[in-house]
Amino acid sequence: MIIYSIGKFFNFILAKRWNLDMGISDIFFIFFCDVVFKTLSTTFFALPTFSYFAKITPSKIEATMYAFLSGTTDFEDKVISPLWGAFLNYEFVGVNKSDLSGYSTLCLIALILSLFIFFLLPLIPKRQQLREWRKKRAEELLIKMQERRERRAKNKMM
């Protein structure tokens, strides 16, 4: 998330053309911002997210749950985010191919929204919470299995 926010900050710098004031050419700055930070942010977002998915997925439905969570993540990245960006641009900024004067405003909005995610970090469960949740889930599963055995034994007696 930090890398993603830094990348958004560099996009804002490029939109304001401050890179030229620092003596950095557009081509180098675009390569540095777009290729390097996009790759790093994808790597540092995808690996922890998908490993977290693997940890919280209940047994016996790993493939289904992982496919659902991966699909939801891709849907957010490829559909929802661009729609929100287009909506914000259309309603508030008004950048189009003939008028790019508000592009730096769009980059600033993206930077501010990338920092918003830090307020959501306390919602991620800690290791101890995950352990307690797994223990509780295992106990519930044991109870269900025991109830199932008792019902089967009762049905056999009848």
Question: Which pLDDT tens digit goes with each residue over 43-56?
Answer: 887 788 888 777 77
Asked whether residue 103 falls in the same domain as residue 135, the answer is no
Domain region containing 110: 2-122
Asked whether residue 83 falls in the same domain as residue 131, the answer is no
Q: What is the pTM of this model?
A: 0.68
Asked whether residue 98 falls in the same domain as residue 147, the answer is no
Question: Which pLDDT tens digit goes with each residue over 104-136?
Answer: 999 999 999 889 888 888 888 888 988 898 899
HEC assignment per residue over 84-130? HHHHHHHHHHCCECCECCCHHHHHHHHHHHHHHHHHHHHHCCCHHHH
Asked whether residue 93 falls in the same domain as residue 134, the answer is no
